[in-house]
Structure 1
Amino acid sequence: MATKQTQQEMEEHLGQVPSWMEHLAEPASDHSWGIFRDLGLGETNLSKREKALVEVSAAAAMQCPYCTYFHKEEARLAEVSEDELEETINLAGVTRYFSTILHGNEVDHDEFVAETDEIVEYIEEQEAPTADD
């Protein structure tokens, strides 16, 4: 279980010490809370809204009902709409789908990178302002 100081921090941030924290091995419990606190709750380059969308996507792709529930609720607190949640989860599914195809068919990574770079270059050219703009 986490140290008393860590338990107090959890209570300050979450209103309680989640029971699942008891399942973390002793040397990792304080550190695990620190990662959760610093990345998930702390000030970072991503907004709370952006973090919630990333976390919901990852949870859905991993098919973790615990994480999916937690991060959907977190997203709702960050004022993510139900339509946005649905789209986020659909995007996670699409990414997982194509990842399965790429990995299962053992697509050559170097060729994939080269093609992606060409696609990005093409799109940038298409979106670049013209002299007429």
Structure 2
Amino acid sequence: MKSLLMILVLALSLSPRESQAAQDFVMVGADQAYYEIRETFGFVPTFLKQFPAEAISGAWQEMRDLELSPTTSLNQKTKELIGLAVASQIPCQYCVYFHKRAAKFSGATEKEMNYAIAVAASTRKWSTYFYGAQISMESFKSDIGKMIHFMKNKSVSGIPESSGIVAYDAPEAMTDMRKAFGFTPDFIKFYSSRGLAGAWNEMKTLEMNTQAPLQNKVLDLISLAVSSQIPCQYCIYSDTEFAKFDGANKDEIQESVAMAGIVRHWSTFLNGMQQPQKAFEKEVDQIFKNLEMKRDSLNNKRITYR
């Protein structure tokens, strides 16, 4: 807050000439951003044109250096699956369309995309339950710690779907949980007995399944990104701990959360500007048509040089 006040005071104290120089500097940054956007996408999409010129340089820089960069800790497919999952949960029709096209461009299959969206749905469901049941955070953290400790001792990262039983009622679900975690977590005891068996079967086969189309680590990071922007304090804690258990490093965790923030940022702006959906989709299609042409051209050059 102090830094912001200092900047405002400095801006107000500038002479007209200095103020104009500062504005010129900002516009040079905007011009450079528009140039890079055209070089990347083939044109400047409407939503980027509409974004304030004073801030487009920073907004584009973040998109370029995190979401679009091939040198981040997370690969392109994982970042776009995160984007799709977050967009689906917000929900943002613009962002869902963009990130689904981006995920396909990055090599994601329909099954992988459906899986990412299902994980987002599961995260939202459990977030709703934790808050509605008013679970004690201290007790919740203790349960998560005991669960991970037990799983570490078993030296497993997930439960193969083929080895698990199907629970038909709440007692069977709790018995199966004891096999998985060594005990029945306190937080689960508040769940409706009518829905517990189905909820457990879904969680086990969706988020704890070593035969899933996505790695357990990726599923954890997708869930973390979704829970970060809900926001759900319970889910953020458990998803972070399970992501670490499944091998995620600090950079991967930070990038997942940052991707969630980027999606939320552009969702807010797109929905506020209310660009017609079909017009937006047409521009997104053109973006990826141009990117596909650039990729094909690059691949052809590589073949020629061999």
Is the TM value for this pair above 0.5?
yes
For the pair 1:66 / 2:94, whether they are aligned, the reply is: yes
Greater relative CO, 1 or 2 (CA 8 Å, sep 6+): 2
CA RMSD of aligned residues (A): 1.6
* 1:30 aligns with one of 57, 60, 75: 57
The question of whether the paired residues in 1 share the 8 Å contact of 2:32 and 2:57 is answered with no
Matched, 1:54 2:82: yes
SS in structure 1 opposite 2:108? coil
Unaligned runs of 5+ in 1: 129-133
Deviations 1:61-99 (A, max 9, x none): 111111111011111011111011111100110011101
Q: CA deviation at 1:25?
A: 2.8
Q: Deviations over 1:27-80 (max 9, x none)?
A: 322111111111101121000111111111111111111111101111101111
1:126 aligns with 2:147: no
In the alignment, structure 1 residue 5 sits paired with structure 2 residue 32: yes
Does the CA-based 8 Å contact 2:30-2:53 persist in structure 1? Answer: no
Q: Please identify, of 66-75 and 107-116, the stretch whose mean Cα deviation from structure 2 is larger.
A: 107-116
Shift of 1:22: 3.1
Structure 2: 5+ residue stretches without partners: 1-26, 157-306
Shift, 1:121, TM fit = 0.8
**CA distance in structure 1 between the partners assigned to 2:66 and 2:31 by the alignment:** 21
Q: How many residues align?
A: 128
User: 2:121: which partner in 1?
Assistant: 93
Among residues 134, 143, 161, which one is paired with 1:106 in the alignment? Answer: 134
Shift of 1:113: 1.1
Show structure 1 runs of 4+ deviating over 4 A.
none
Name the TM-score, length of structure 2 as normaliser.
Answer: 0.40
How high is the sequence identity, in percent, across the aligned residues? 28
1:104 CA displacement: 2.5
Following superposition, the deviation at residue 26 of structure 1 comes to 3.4
Q: Summarize the Cα distance change of 1:25–1:107 in structure 2 as closer, same or farther, 3 Å threshold.
A: farther
2:271 corresponding residue in structure 1: none
AA in 1 matched with 2:41: L
Aligned residue for 1:79, secondary structure, equals coil
- Secondary structure of the 1:46 match is coil
8 A Cα contact 2:30 2:54, kept in partner = no
> CA–CA distance in 2 between the matches of 1:71 and 1:61?
13
Asked whether the 8 Å contact 2:81–2:116 carries over to 1, the reply is yes
- TM-score of the superposed pair, with normalisation by structure 1: 0.88
